[in-house]
Amino acid sequence: MLIHEGVYNRIIKSCADWQMEVGGILGGENNIITEFEFDEGTALTSKQHYYPNIEKLNIYLESWQEDNIQFYGIAHSHFQDERGLSPGDIDYIHAIMSAMPSYIDFLYFPIILPQREMVSFKAVRAKNGVNIVNDDIKILKKGGKSDETGN
């Protein structure tokens, strides 16, 4: 995953400051993450599960579409020091990938850990379904909405 430094820092700060599972959507262009919209989740969100606020996030996705920003996935925090995907995370990733148009070959699903660390996973469309693999994170020094706004 290629991500601008300001966006990476904003994701870490936004998610690590909460004491429960939260997240947000990733967007960008040219396979680089340049955008992040934080989401506290819905009333169902608890310390064990993040439930995205779909209505709120769809507003951002519509805005991104107007600005030619592509949806690149969903980040979320883990309350515990769990570096891997839970069975629920895996099921959710498969559901998202099956709902995406066929031209979407991959999406990212990073986890933010309490010690202000990110672990990335990439879901890749395959002939037999979806493969989820660990993904290296490469932080690009400049760019993204966070750098422009100073957040």
**pLDDT (average), residues 58-83:** 92
Residues 29/69, Cβ–Cβ less than 8 Å: yes
CATH of domain 2-149: 3.40.140.10
* Nearest Cα to Cα of residue 22 among 42, 40, 37: 40
CA 7, CA 18: separation in Å to the nearest integer? 17
Provide the pLDDT confidence category of residue 143 given band limits of 50, 70 and 90. Answer: low
**pLDDT (average), residues 120-130:** 94
Query: How is residue 20 annotated by DSSP?
Result: S
The label of the residue with tokens 């879901």 reads 123
Query: How is residue 79 annotated by DSSP?
Result: S
Burial of residue 79, with CB atoms counted within 10 A of its CB: 0-12 exposed, 13-18 middle, 19 or more buried = middle
At 79-121, the pLDDT tens digits run 777 889 999 999 999 999 999 999 999 999 999 998 889 999 9
**pLDDT (average), residues 35-59:** 89
pLDDT averaged over the chain? 89
**pLDDT (average), residues 126-139:** 95
The reported pLDDT for the residue numbered 33 is 97
The reported pLDDT for the residue numbered 123 is 98
Whether 151 shows a pLDDT value over 50: the answer reads: no
Spans of all domains in the chain: 2-149
The reported pLDDT for the residue numbered 150 is 40
The reported pLDDT for the residue numbered 43 is 77
